[in-house]
Amino acid sequence: MREIPSYLVDPFAPITAFSKWVGRTLTQWLPEHPLTAFLDYWIYDFVKVAILLVLTTTLLGIVRRLVGVGWLQRSVGRDDWLGIMAGAVLGVFTPVCSCSVTPLYASLLHAGASRSSAGAFLFAAPAVNEFAIVVVLIALGWQGALLYLVLGMTAAMLTGRYAHRLGLKPCNLCSAPTMQVFAERRRAPWRLLRDSVMEALGLLRRLLVALLIGTALAALLVNYNLRPVEVMLQIGQAWWSPVVGVLLGLPLDVNAAVAIPILLPLAEAGLPLGTLIALMMATTLASFPEAAVLKSLIGWKGLLKLGSWYFLYCSALGLLLNLVVR
């Protein structure tokens, strides 16, 4: 059987490969050392996130200038349940890790998405994307994958519905006069591209410090030898195991593509379903790097509210499932 090209499985694979090449190229002259590994990953992650931010904002800018904002107002621009659903569904088909989702969230707000729709996207994209569902399918079977999808979409829509109470306020750093009709269809294509690129670079400049701090934290976490599998195996089937799993998972910078080595051994060891789903959702949902970038968008108060919601939902979900599913 022919191997499926990586760019068909992961649409961001070329960006990831290029970013890794940049990191290796800029650090290959340094001696082998933990600091070198840290710098390599930091450069790679920053380049990847910056490219995603610029490309997403540029693409949305071009589309907005060509067709106006009617499409935006009818979908993710809405502040009702339809807009929330649009943001959640967009997140399911956007396979990104927790540290990469925040720049895309900023791009959506910059393009004029409502905070409710963008909030649903912020939850769904890292936690409920198709890669996460495949990982759960492999580890827990189709029943577990279906349950994970339903519960994740429910949480994403609740995040959007109560975005204002969770501190997901309109982003001042992302503000731009975008919610208006553009009469630029007759402009030269190169001018549309230029204006969209300049708009994207402006957003990158406003988020530069936050992105540098966030990707540095990601590099620290990747090079820190934290072993959640060993901890969870020691806890086993204790009733409070979902809470520990969430506490371990939320800070980690883990995406769905690399979650199998964490989830599969625990499933084979017989850990309860609720513990496994809570751990999976927590590890993919958030991270310290994401928190560093989000803080620049919503402030400490908003970050505390959102983090508390993530922790309470994932923990309660795991405890409830362990109580109901025997």
pLDDT digits (tens, 9 = 90+) for 185-232: 445 667 778 887 887 788 788 778 777 887 787 777 666 655 677 888
Tell me the mean pLDDT in the region 236-256.
86
Residue 212 lies in a domain: yes
Position 7 scores a pLDDT of 42
Helix (H, G, I), strand (E, B) or coil at 42: helix
**pLDDT higher than threshold 50 for residue 179:** no
Residue 152: what pLDDT?
93
In terms of average pLDDT, the best of 70-84, 128-142, 202-216, 312-326 is 312-326
Lowest mean per-residue pLDDT among 30-34, 52-56, 155-159, 259-263? 259-263
Instruction: Estimate to the nearest angstrom the gap between the alpha carbon of 98 and the chain centroid.
Output: 3
pLDDT over threshold 50, residue 33: yes
Three-state secondary-structure class, residue 260 = helix
CA–CA separation, 37 vs 42, rounded Å?
8
Q: Quick one: pLDDT at residue 181?
A: 41
How far from 225 is each of 9, 34, 252, CA to CA, in Å?
29, 12, 11
pLDDT attached to residue 196: 79
Per the domain annotation, does 126 fall within a domain? yes
Count of other CB atoms within 10 angstroms of residue 193: 14
Give strand ranges (E) for 70-179. Answer: none
Residue 236 lies in a domain: yes
1 inside domain: no
* 173 domain residue, yes or no: yes
Q: Does some domain include residue 113?
A: yes
Q: Is residue 216 part of a domain?
A: yes
Number of domains the chain contains: 1
pLDDT exceeds cutoff 60 at 283? yes
Residue 171 domain flag? yes
pLDDT, residue 150, reads 93
More confident residue, 10 or 49: 49
pTM listed for this prediction: 0.77
Question: Which residue stretches of 95-129 are H helix?
Answer: 98-111, 115-127
Residue 56 belongs to domain spanning: 6-324
Which of 15-19, 119-123, 163-167 has the lowest average pLDDT?
15-19
